[in-house]
Amino acid sequence: MTIEYLKVGDWQQEPQLKQQLLKLGNLCGSCCSFLDSHQYPSVEPGLEFIWAAAEMDCCTLRPGNDPTLLDTFLQKHAGKWIFGHIGYDAKSIVQAHACTHKDRIGFPEIQFFVPAYCVVATKNELQVISQDPKVSAEKLWQLILNTNVEEEKPIDGLEMKPRMEKGAYLDTIEKVRAHILRGDCYELNFCHEFYVEEACIDPVSVYQRLVKASPNPFSCYYRSANAYLMCASPERYLAKRGNRLISQPIKGTAARYPNVPEADALQKESLLNSSKERSENVMVVDLVRNDLSRICKQGTVEVTELFGIYTFPQLHQMISTIEGRLSTEVTFSQILEATFPMGSMTGAPKLRVMDLIEKYETSARGLFSGSVGYITPHGDFDFNVVIRSLLYNANTQYLSYLVGGGITWYSHAEKEYEECLLKASAIRKAIGLQ
């Protein structure tokens, strides 16, 4: 199959381009993906955004499916751009660990698609790519430019309700701490859901408001049929560049005071020196090192940055970087089996805390704390961690977000709850809540 490319050097002269791509993506097929780095240098150097729409072929896996079916699909389409997601409950496929809670959004556990249309933007150049033999890259570019952008639609009358009341949340944190005291686990990422039923929203408008309030490096707008993700994630799950794997878990959070520089600087210093946050972070680093050692060449897994402090619009975050050299002939499903779900969204030891998460959480995570990303024609890839996100089913009009954090013996239940609210601040702002 011939893949057509068109290079556009002055794409930044099109002020509505992102809005046009978002709208067009909703009109083409049942899958679309828009991944935006917001010019953070921590993403692939120079990459601005990637857009894909209109599936030409698709691989969907549900519980009970053989994960190697995904390898067969990727091998079939080697040399093409491929996009997709891995939901948290894909653990039932790659780890044989079932989910017992109801999923009210409806993303498939795993889904990857070959898009007919793709746009890859760097700072200096934009590539318009058509993998559809019926549509030239030039024709696709003109279609994008001719897409009319609608005004942002307001949101009225939403009132998000907690699936778990605050008192129950505080009690659960104490139960988790009791498990840690008994030696059942060392750290557990506990999440809880806020939701509203009969929410009539425009997902594109909500996404635009979300990333305006919180433009983070692994943001994405993603659709599969009637399920929508609006995501402002700052976290990378896993990237592959050549034979190098890179994981960058986040553990450690501090509020920002951007209008008070002295106080903001003190927050960063306090985060860096916090024994609680460091212990939380290093536990996940050790878990990721262990995961990567299962698929990387012996002696190549190393921590290239420990306790890095990164600043985002609402928060300072503690991020560590772990890298390794991938062993030869390791398949994508084997990479998932070794590393998914990611340690920052589970805890340690991983399999035991997954049992406890299933016991104490009251909602299916679905795509939340899963991953969205892309695979290049050369076989490299980059996948985020789906956090700081809204999820929506347009058929049932069910809208929700989940928030959580890593619980250790040093955790204080009330402070953990306050941290959850802090992480949700940009999400609430995007849907008109304070």
Catalytic residues: 235, 251
Query: What angle separates helix 350-360 from helix 166-182, to the nearest 10 degrees?
Result: 150
Q: What are phi and psi of 203, to 5 degrees?
A: -55, -35
Radius of gyration of the chain (CA): 21
Cross-strand bridge partners of residue 362:
none
Angle value at C-alpha 74, between 39 and 238, nearest 5 degrees = 40
**What is the four-CA torsion angle of 255, 261, 263, 267, rounded to 10 degrees?**
40
Amino acid at site 190? F
Q: Print the SS3 string covering 61-121.
A: ECCCCCCHHHHHHHHHCCCCCEEEEECHHHHHHHCCCCCCCCCCCCCCCEEEEEEEEEEEE
**Pick from 207, 212, 210: which is nearest to 222 by CA?**
207
Cis geometry, peptide bond prior to residue 349 (ω within 30 degrees of 0): yes
Amino acid at site 344? S
Amino acid at site 181? L
- 7, exposed or middle or buried, with CB in 10 Å at 0-12, 13-18, 19+? exposed
Amino acid at site 250? I
Three-state DSSP at 276 gives helix
Q: How far apart are CA 392 and CA 199, in angstroms?
A: 9
